[in-house]
Amino acid sequence: MLVGGHAEVRGGPILLDDRVLIEGQACIQGEILIEHQVEISGRAAVIAFDGNTIHLRGPKVINGEDRITRTPLVGSL
């Protein structure tokens, strides 16, 4: 696991496991599980809101302006 550049990792719990690379100005926020060869770079963001969990399992490359978010479904409120 490597976090470098100006990347932000905040909130939690956050699990980063098995060859995860976060660099550039990437933003990881909320309850996030990232494992098995995932690379997040550039200005990409992975954001979980309101107690939801996002689980990314690789191999994956998320870069540039990519955004991954999870918000509650309207019908479940």
pLDDT, tens digit, 9 for 90 and up, residues 44-62: 999 998 778 999 998 999 9
Residue 18 confidence (pLDDT):
87
Shortest CA distance to 11 belongs to which of 35, 34, 28, 33? 28
Which segments of the chain have a pLDDT < 70?
A: 71-77
In total, how many domains does the chain have? Answer: 1
Residue 2 confidence (pLDDT):
86
Shortest CA distance to 23 belongs to which of 40, 36, 35? 40
Residue 60 lies in a domain: yes
Tokens of 64: 């540039």
Question: H-helix or E-strand containing 60?
Answer: strand 60-62
Residue 77 lies in a domain: no
Mapping DSSP to helix (H, G, I), strand (E, B) and coil, where does residue 76 land? helix
Residue 12's domain comprises 2-71
Residue 76 lies in a domain: no
Residue 30 confidence (pLDDT):
92
Residue 1 confidence (pLDDT):
83
pLDDT above 90 covers a percentage of the chain that reads 61
Q: Enumerate the β-bridge partners of residue 63.
A: none
Task: Give 28: exposed, middle or buried? Use CB within 10 Å, 0-12, 13-18, 19+.
Answer: buried
